[in-house]
Structure formats: C-alpha cells, structure tokens
Structure 1
Amino acid sequence: MRHPLVMGNWKLNGSTHMVHELVTNLRKELSGVVGCGVAIAPPMMYLDLAKQTAAGSHIHLGAQNVDLNLSGAFTGETSAAMLKDVGAKYIIIGHSERRTYHAESDELIAKKFAVLKEQGLIPVLCIGETEAENEAGKTEEVCARQIDAVLNTLGAQAFEGAVIAYEPVWAIGTGKSATPAQAQAVHKFIRDHIAKADAAIAEQVIIQYGGSVNAGNAAELFGQPDIDGALVGGASLKADAFATIVKAAAEAKNA
C-alpha cells in the first residue's frame, strides 16, 4: 500500500528567521496529521537549522540537488555522503530548473540517481514536458525518455523505495495546473511504463504531482488513484497553505 508524500521545495528562498518560523508553524499545523509523509527541502545552508527546528516531529529533511562525487576537488558542490551525514533523506534530482539553467542531461540525472541509491538516500526524480512538447502531443514520449535513462542503466529495481515527481514544466510557478484527469492519465502512463519492466516495483513507487499545487486544487488531485502526494513549490513557503495540502493528501489516503 503506497503512502502519499508531500514535499516542499523551497528553491532559492529562506533566512534563519524564516526557517525557524516556517518549520515551527508547520509543526503546529501538522501535529496529529497521519497517513501522509512530509518532507521539506530548504537551501543547503539551512539544512541543519531546519533539522534542529523539526527535531521530534514527523517532518523529514530533503535537499534540492546533489553532486556526483562523494568528495574531492569540486568547489561549490555538496555530496550525497554529506547530505546523509546532516540527516537529509529525500533528494530532488532532475528538476526542470536544473535541466534548463544548468543543462543537466537525462544521463547525468541517472548517475545522480545511482549515487543516491548507493548512499541509502531516496531520489525524488523530477520528470515532465515543456509547453511546446505538451502541445505537440509528446508528453508520454518525454516522460518515458526521462524514466528510461534510469531504467535502462540501473534496472527497475532502482525504483524500489524511490519517488518520481511528474511536473509539467508549463505548470511550474505559472499558476496553471494540469486538471486532475490530465495529471492522472500521465501518472498512470508512468506507472504502466515501469510495470513493463517490473509490475511489483511499479505498484509501490510513489508518483507525486508538481506544478502549481495549492490549497484549492490539492484535494481533487489527491483523489486520483495514481497520484501519491505532491512536490510543492511556492505554497510550501507558507505553513498554512502547505499544511492544507498535506491534510488533503492524508484525507484522500484515509478515505
């Protein structure tokens, strides 16, 4: 039985005051909420503060990126070993902003996936099509290609315990969101695609939706059979909005 996961991607936002206030308020808002995993991915420099502030709660720690190398002369990078050392659990890779602004390829992202698995961390693999690809009817083709980069190099077993976040690029930070039916269709395609390699692995993999998820559309999205929570951007910076999304996921699960 899959448990939904709602994860907040804070992106390049935060301060010591904001981290302390946001996590403290989240703890209050989410006390007593069961049936949904919760994680936050602050900027790297605030991971330890977030960990200390969340201590004793059910809020897990995540990160927004990782380097391929575990140590060495790689200025400015952060390794999987370091993330594990400070208590991070869920690591976002392949986010469309990394693919766009840092020219990260499917091949590079698959290598990051492998490094995370080797270190016992949970990859949150972001996949999704651009607006042009969507309009050209290439959604499934793009998602399959991005998943196959991992499937063809690491095998279906690599997805055991992993997370996939389907984020249509045209819906990230735009206020646009796929309809629940559209999102469900793509999620089902993703699960079916992995099932061709291993049905049992496909059944247990968590597939989140991401892209302008908010308090208004969360409940209907989470009511879909193949949508297992969300990767949340802007709404994760407000405790009440993020908590509403988590509660919607928990309620859908418990229903």
Structure 2
Amino acid sequence: MAVASTSLASQLSGPKSLPQSYSGLRRSCPKLDHSHSHSHSLYQHLHSHLSLSSSRKASRAVVAMAGTGKFFVGGNWKCNGTKDSISKLVSDLNSAKLEADVDVVVAPPFLYLDQVKSSLTDRIELSGQNSWVGKGGAFTGEISVEQLKDIGCKWVILGHSERRHVIGEDDQFIGKKAAYALNEGLGVIACIGEKLEEREAGKTFDICFQQLKAFADAVPSWENIVIAYEPVWAIGTGKVASPQQAQEVHVAVRDWLKKNVSAEVASKTRIIYGGSVNGGNSAELAKEEDIDGFLVGGASLKGPEFATIVNAVTSKKVAA
C-alpha cells in the first residue's frame, strides 16, 4: 500500500539537505546524526517498505504511507463544549461525508461522553481524554479505564502535553497508564513532543525518545497504540511544524521503534501529527510519507473543518 518517494534520497543524503531552521535537532542526538552510515541504514529501512509494486493496476487508488496502518484522525475536544454546542457538533459530524479509508475518533469531555455516544454515527469511534493508572476506587475526580469501556470508548489519549506540563504527570506514570489501558482492552493514543526551548537546544529527538522509552518499558504490546507527535510549541499557538519538520521527527520515531522494539512494530505503528492542524494545512502535512494521520485540537470543534482534515487522506492517494 506504500509507494516510494523520489524526494526521500535527497532528504536523507546529508546535513546540507536539512533546512537551516531546524538543523539543530541533531546536535545532541548522536544516534540520529546524518553520518553516511546512519543515512544509508535509515534510507534502506524506509525503502524496504516504500517499494513500488509492479503488479498494481492504474485504475485504482491506494494510500501511500511509510507505515502499513490505516490513516487515523482523532479529534481532542479538550475542556470545551456544552450540551447545546456538542449537539450541534455531533449533528455536523453525522452529516459530513468522510473518506472511507480513515479511522476517525473523537474525544469529548468526560461529562458528555454518554450524550455523544447515544447520538454520534457509528462511523466515528469514541476516546477518553485521560484515564486512571489502575482499577477505579477512592480516586476523587479520576476516570477509570473500566468506566470508559462501559460507556463505549475504544480509545484513550495518554501523555498529552497538557497532562505532562500543566498537570505534572511524568513519563513513567504515563507509561503505567498506557500499560493498564492496553491490558484492559482500550487502544492508546500515546502523545510525545518537545517544548520550544528543547527544540531550540537541539533536544527534540532526545525528548521524544525518552518519552517513547517510557511507553516501551511498560506496555505489553504495540498492537493497539497510535503515536501522536505533538510539538508543545505548536499546540494551540497557531504555529505549525512544517511538513518537512514533522516528517523528520516521524522518520526518527519510526527508526527508533525499529531499533528498540522491532521492524514489524515500526512498520505497523501509526505515527500521527498534532499541533495547530486545520483545514488549510492538513493536505500538505498529509503528503509526507510518515505522517499517518492527525490528532486535532481546536479545529475538531468545527464539524465541517474536521471533515476536511479527515479527508486530507486524499493527498496520500496515488494511482496504482
């Protein structure tokens, strides 16, 4: 289902191909330095599953992605909405024409999960925005995995930057949450991403790999995990990582999974981008081989715009 990119070789050929604006990402990441040997191995890894199939017919379209999973778009409604506004949003989503080749998930506030479940089309699955680290009990204000499942959720978002940097959850705690959710049968949207000062210090990969390791150390399997790369400096700020910046990190994440988990997990795990994604920029972002979808914030509160983002999958469709 994947197709080779003629631009990948030039992107991975050496330091000169990196835009000056983000070349500093590699200063403190020797594992991902663009030495000849690393570039060659990363190039080989990507092209091992980006090969053209000579047996394809020109009459059908396929979705071209580096990974082998289905395009995935999640809408994180965060702490927004009232019964009336959510009723309107659900109505818009129910009437939207969504491409069939996409897994679509929305995460309403906990208070409105039941309302959304009872009125939203089955085409769109439900997610919690957070869950407790273990079985429910005397944990005032928390929501358990069992409760999320009981109300109809299939997914939960864990490790979002607001939970990390506003609420104060650390990597290991988030990893334990993910392990518990997966063990109980929920899919996990596992968020990673660096703050602005970390990017400017050239620590983007260090931070993302540290957060990935905390998941890898804890989870029983990667089968029901979607990784969401969300640079903190781009969330709700209107600043968006360029397609090339996002692609670079997604390639590095996939390479980390190959080296530290397995080649199969690296291929199958979907890596989606989040950070001020909207109807105007989603198509260009979706064109990148390793961007397997989006986790959308503010724009997911607007039904027609969210549908546009879902349908950005068409930017990946090529004649085959």
How does the TM-score come out when normalised to structure 1?
0.95
SS in 2 for 1:104: coil
* Residue 193 (structure 1) aligned to one of 256, 271, 282: 256
Which residue of structure 2 lines up, in the alignment, with residue 122 of structure 1?
187
Measure how far apart 1:247 and its partner are: 0.7
Measure how far apart 1:122 and its partner are: 0.5
* Residue 41 (structure 1) aligned to one of 98, 102, 107: 107
Q: Deviations over 1:107-145 (max 9, x none)?
A: 000000001111110111110000000001100000000
For residue 174 of structure 1, what is the amino acid of its counterpart? T
For residue 126 of structure 1, what is the amino acid of its counterpart? C
Residues 163, 208 of structure 1: 8 Å contact kept: yes
Measure how far apart 1:30 and its partner are: 2.8
Residues 4, 253 of structure 1: 8 Å contact kept: no
For residue 30 of structure 1, what is the amino acid of its counterpart? K
SS in 2 for 1:24: helix
Distance 1:9 1:232 in 2: 6
Aligned: 1:227 with 2:291: yes
Residues 90, 121 of structure 1: 8 Å contact kept: yes
Which residue of structure 2 lines up, in the alignment, with residue 90 of structure 1?
155
SS in 2 for 1:158: coil
Distance 1:51 1:122 in 2: 17
For residue 311 of structure 2, what is the amino acid of its counterpart? K
Aligned: 1:236 with 2:288: no
Aligned: 1:5 with 2:72: yes
SS in 1 for 2:228: strand
Residues 161, 204 of structure 1: 8 Å contact kept: no
* Residue 280 (structure 2) aligned to one of 189, 207, 216: 216
Aligned: 1:133 with 2:133: no
Which residue of structure 2 lines up, in the alignment, with residue 51 of structure 1?
117
Distance 1:235 1:224 in 2: 20
* Residue 18 (structure 1) aligned to one of 85, 89, 99: 85
Q: Deviations over 1:3-33 (max 9, x none)?
A: 11111100110111111110111111135x2
Query: 5+ unaligned residues in a row in structure 1: which ranges?
Result: none
Identity %: 48
Distance 1:102 1:236 in 2: 23
Larger Rg: 2
Residues 182, 224 of structure 2: 8 Å contact kept: no
Q: How does 1:38-187 map to 2 (within 5 A)?
A: 38-55=104-121, 57-154=122-219, 158-187=221-250
Aligned length: 250
Residues 35, 253 of structure 1: 8 Å contact kept: no
| Aligned-residue CA RMSD (Å) | 1.1
Distance 1:185 1:70 in 2: 38
Distance 2:134 2:258 in 1: 31
Residues 126, 153 of structure 2: 8 Å contact kept: yes
Distance 1:99 1:74 in 2: 19
How does the TM-score come out when normalised to structure 2?
0.76
